[in-house]
Structure 1
């Protein structure tokens, strides 16, 4: 896909992977609108020439704000990147609120945005939806049950709508990052990919039209899973 002159919307685009995706799309000539919850971070993006939309995607009002913010614009690229973790603990009903926010942000919001923005995407000569899931959508880890479930759900949804749109002008891409250095993973130890390098692989995949972008170490996970799904699950469940 030629990016120059295309209008892109990147949710969660004021920080982390989303910010890097936005910067790299802009660097390749795209016009980019980012969404976020932090007024300060959105203002910083505005000073760099980005359009901004404030909205918490765990709420219906936040989704409405994004849809309204791009209404009437020639939207050609939708990157559903916004995501949050969950403090869910098994047998602790007090963490169900956190789980609900995670489900709304990571799964409900991308589905709503794909559905409500599809007419705008169909109106373009060529358009792309990018749903950012995770390597954990392939095989879950026990310590992130709700997060993994949302990403697995989004992966399944993405594969289904790719088939539904296969004869249309809208390409559907899934991007599967590994553990990336972001605010969400700040408390985790171990090797992490930089947000810049992760975004670079995603943007390259958008340009080349890949259906599935396995980023960094996820390439190895996919290979293991293709040989033995059970082995992949055993490796990842304690990750």
Structure 2
């Protein structure tokens, strides 16, 4: 799908990869951005004329339902839903700074809210000749690391959800895509890893993948990871364990 003159919903569009996608897409499309931070949404509205913003904490399903209801009532149809928002908590279950209450919040933001928002906005996506649901995923969906167990689990769940949803919608106008990213330099990854991809590079390649209708888009070293998992799975798992 060529992303031109489309109505696009983006979650987590005020920072990182989401913000870079807004920058890329804004000149030629109409954008709806969902984020938790009201100040950042106000800044986004001032910077990008015409962007429609909605404040919602995606860890609270009642707010997910409320924002979906507002979008459905205001817009008869949308072309693209980009489920981008995610959080990652790095402590292990054995670390002193692990916080029990973060478990449900991380699962809800990274997975449950995506399932919910997708279902609630489905009627608007079915109104177009061609629509796309794009889920932003990670190479950690294919093989986990030692830290961030909840994050890895939600990304693995998102991978399976995306594939199953694709089967469900294959006779409709909606294409279901996902992108698997290598480590990207964002606020979430500060202080971790090396040789990171910039958020701008990630956003550009994500958008190119949508334009080329790539169903499962492996970016950067994820291509190598998938090959290793096929031909040398034990080596792949060993590498990712220390990632």
TM bracket (short chain): over 0.9
Residues 102-122 of structure 1 show CA distances to partners (whole Å, capped at 9, x for unaligned) of 100001000101111111101
Pick aligned residue for 2:240 from 231, 236, 239 = 236
- Counterpart position of 1:155: 159
Q: Distance in 1 between matches of 2:90 and 2:147?
A: 10
Q: Distance in 1 between matches of 2:134 and 2:197?
A: 20
- Counterpart position of 1:56: 57
Q: Distance in 2 between matches of 1:210 and 1:231?
A: 27
- Counterpart position of 2:8: 8
Pick aligned residue for 1:224 from 221, 228, 243 = 228
Residues 34-84 of structure 1 show CA distances to partners (whole Å, capped at 9, x for unaligned) of 111111211111111211110110001320232023114121100000000
Displacement of 1:101 in angstroms is 0.8
- Counterpart position of 1:90: 93
CA contact 2:65–2:117 (8 Å) conserved in 1 = no
- Counterpart position of 1:144: 148
CA contact 1:54–1:65 (8 Å) conserved in 2 = no
CA contact 1:87–1:98 (8 Å) conserved in 2 = no
Residues 127-168 of structure 1 show CA distances to partners (whole Å, capped at 9, x for unaligned) of 000011101001000111110000000011001111111121
Number of aligned residue pairs: give it: 238
Which 5+ residue runs of structure 1 have no aligned equivalent?
Answer: none
**Which secondary structure state, in structure 1, belongs to the residue aligned with residue 211 of structure 2?**
helix
Given the alignment of the two structures, is residue 66 of structure 1 paired with residue 67 of structure 2, yes or no?
Answer: yes
CA contact 1:198–1:216 (8 Å) conserved in 2 = no
Which 5+ residue runs of structure 2 have no aligned equivalent?
Answer: none
TM-score, normalised to structure 2, is: 0.93
- Counterpart position of 1:104: 108
Q: Distance in 2 between matches of 1:234 and 1:174?
A: 25
**Which secondary structure state, in structure 2, belongs to the residue aligned with residue 85 of structure 1?**
coil
CA contact 1:87–1:99 (8 Å) conserved in 2 = no
CA contact 1:87–1:95 (8 Å) conserved in 2 = no
Q: Distance in 2 between matches of 1:65 and 1:22?
A: 23
Query: What is the root-mean-square deviation in Å for CA atoms of aligned residues?
Result: 1.6
